[in-house]
C-alpha cells in the first residue's frame, strides 16, 4: 500500500470501539492467558462490558493479580476472579476450572487464548523450542478443551468454547514452523471437538487473527518484519486486540447459535 493510499484510508479504517450490548449477560467465562494487553486481556474486558462474569488465568502470577485488581476496580469484585494457570500443567488447569465452579457454580464459556510463539529456522530449531510451542499452544488448548467439555457434560446446560488460532495455520511464514503447526493443530482440534461436543449442546469454534498489535508482539518482532506484515494487510494497519475480542464475543454469544467447528479469519489480508 502506498503512503497516499494509507493516508486516504486512514479515517475510514480507523476502528471504532463498540459499547457493550449485554450479549453475554449472566454468563460465566473462563479465559486463559488473560493478563496483560494482548487478546486475552482485551477479551476479558469485552466480556465484562457485555455483562459476563470472568475467571481469568495466566502463567504470570504478578501480572494476573494486577489485571484482576484493575478489572475488579472497574467492574466489581463479584464480576472478576483469577487463578494462576500454566496450561502445560494439568493440575493448574483443573484449579482454574474449579475456581469457576467455586465462584459461580459452573461456567458457560471457555476462551482458550494461551499460546507461545518464537522465531527459528527449521535447521536451527531445537527439540525444546518445538516442544515448548506445541505443548503450550496446542496441547494446552487440548487440556482446557477437555476440562471444559467435562464440566459442560456434568452440568448439562450446554456451553461455548472459542479457541484462538492464527492465520499461520493456513499460511506459510519463514521461522514459524512450530507455531504454524501448533495453530493448524488448534484448527483441527476445534473441528473434531465440535463434532464430539454437539451431543452436550456445546459449540466449539475458533478465531484466526493475522496481526493484532500489543506490547509483547512488539518486543519479540523486529520493526522491519512488523512493517512488512502490516503492509500486507488491506487496511494498512494491525488489528487492535479488542477487534479480535469482538469476534470472540460474537462466537460466544447467541448470535452464532448455529456455528460450530468453524474457524473465523480475523484479518484484512487475503492472498
The model carries a pTM of 0.90
Considering the domain boundaries, does residue 7 fall inside one?
A: no
Considering the domain boundaries, does residue 209 fall inside one?
A: yes
Considering the domain boundaries, does residue 5 fall inside one?
A: no
Considering the domain boundaries, does residue 14 fall inside one?
A: no
Quote the number of domains for the chain: 1
The whole-angstrom separation of Cα 143 and Cα 208 is: 20
Considering the domain boundaries, does residue 167 fall inside one?
A: yes
119: CATH: 3.40.50.720
What domain range includes position 209?
28-266
Considering the domain boundaries, does residue 67 fall inside one?
A: yes
Query: Which residues make Cβ contacts (< 8 Å) with residue 4, sequence separation at least 6?
Result: none
179 is catalytic: yes
Query: Would you say residue 141 has pLDDT above 50?
Result: yes
- pLDDT tens track for 147-188: 999 999 999 999 999 999 999 999 999 999 999 999 999 999
Set 17, 179, 255, 258: catalytic member = 179
Q: Is 13 left (phi over 0), alpha (psi -120 to 50) or beta?
A: alpha
Query: Would you say residue 143 has pLDDT above 50?
Result: yes
Query: Which residues make Cβ contacts (< 8 Å) with residue 30, sequence separation at least 6?
Result: 54, 55, 56, 57, 96, 97, 100, 107, 109, 110, 111, 144, 148
**Bridging pattern class, strands 263-266 and 202-209:** parallel
- Strand ranges of the sheet holding 53-58, from the earlier edge strand across to the other edge: 80-84, 53-58, 28-31, 109-112, 159-164, 202-209, 263-266
C-alpha cell at 18: 463498540
Considering the domain boundaries, does residue 156 fall inside one?
A: yes
Considering the domain boundaries, does residue 19 fall inside one?
A: no
Amino acid at each position: 500500500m502506498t503512503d497516499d493510499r494509507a493516508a486516504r484510508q486512514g479515517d475510514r479504517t480507523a476502528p471504532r470501539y463498540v459499547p457493550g450490548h449485554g450479549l453475554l449477560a449472566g454468563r460465566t467465562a473462563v479465559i486463559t492467558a488473560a493478563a496483560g494487553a494482548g487478546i486475552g486481556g482485551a477479551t476479558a474486558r469485552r466480556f465484562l462490558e457485555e455483562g459476563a462474569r470472568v475467571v481469568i488465568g495466566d502463567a504470570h502470577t504478578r501480572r494476573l493479580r494486577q489485571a484482576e485488581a484493575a478489572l475488579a476496580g472497574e467492574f466489581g469484585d463479584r464480576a472478576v476472579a483469577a487463578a494462576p494457570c500454566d496450561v502445560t500443567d494439568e493440575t493448574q488447569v483443573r484449579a482454574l476450572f474449579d475456581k469457576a465452579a467455586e465462584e459461580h457454580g459452573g461456567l458457560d464459556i471457555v476462551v482458550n487464548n494461551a499460546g507461545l510463539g518464537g522465531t527459528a529456522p527449521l535447521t536451527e530449531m531445537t527439540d525444546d523450542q518445538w516442544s515448548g510451542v506445541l505443548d503450550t499452544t496446542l496441547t494446552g488448548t487440548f487440556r482446557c478443551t477437555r476440562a471444559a467439555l467435562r464440566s459442560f457434560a456434568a452440568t448439562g446446560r450446554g456451553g461455548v468454547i472459542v479457541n484462538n488460532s492464527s492465520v499461520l495455520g493456513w499460511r506459510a511464514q519463514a521461522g514459524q514452523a512450530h507455531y504454524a503447526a501448533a495453530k493448524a493443530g488448534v484448527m483441527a482440534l476445534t473441528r473434531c471437538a465440535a463434532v464430539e461436543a454437539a451431543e452436550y449442546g456445546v459449540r466449539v469454534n475458533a478465531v484466526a487473527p493475522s496481526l493484532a498489535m500489543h506490547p509483547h508482539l512488539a518486543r519479540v518482532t523486529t520493526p522491519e518484519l512488523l512493517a512488512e506484515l502490516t503492509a500486507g494487510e488491506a487496511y494498512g494497519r494491525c488489528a487492535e486486540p479488542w477487534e479480535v475480542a469482538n469476534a470472540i464475543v460474537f462466537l460466544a454469544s447467541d448470535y452464532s447459535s448455529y456455528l460450530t467447528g468453524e474457524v473465523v479469519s480475523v484479518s484484512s489480508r487475503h492472498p
